[in-house]
Amino acid sequence: MKVKISKTIGVHQIPNEIRRMLDQIKNNLVYGLPESMNKIIAHSHSSEGEFFFKAIDDIDSFRQDLAALDESLQEVHNILGGYKKFLMPIQEDEEIFDEEWLENEMAESEKRASQHQGLDNNEGEHEEG
């Protein structure tokens, strides 16, 4: 059984909430799904029937995880679409474009990317040393 949980945040918090949600989705993709797929493959390589056919349940579980991931992406898609309509309402079949907002978002995105890249480089140094 699934339930929908809602929370209230300020409009200015929406970009950070979207980023948080996307990070969570990315983590599921990067860490959870490959592990599940490896389990499926390992079972499918087994020469023992019991383990070989365990792949059936593993595949079902994997597909459910993919469906949940798709639902999460749909939720982010809907939030982002609503936020865009709020910031850039359509008038006379043309979108109003908030260039200052976009420049700020691009600058923040570049800043986060360079910080993230710096963290990735530091992590590699620690692993090798």
Can you list the positions of beta strands (E) in 61-124?
90-91, 94-95
**pLDDT recorded at residue 69:** 95
**pLDDT recorded at residue 57:** 95
Are 56 and 43 in contact, with CB atoms under 8 Å apart? no
Q: Name the token pair of 13.
A: 């918090």
Per-residue pLDDT of the chain (129 residues; tens, 9 = 90+): 778 788 898 999 999 999 999 999 999 999 999 999 999 999 999 999 898 999 999 999 999 999 999 999 999 999 999 999 998 887 654 455 667 777 788 788 788 777 767 665 655 544 444
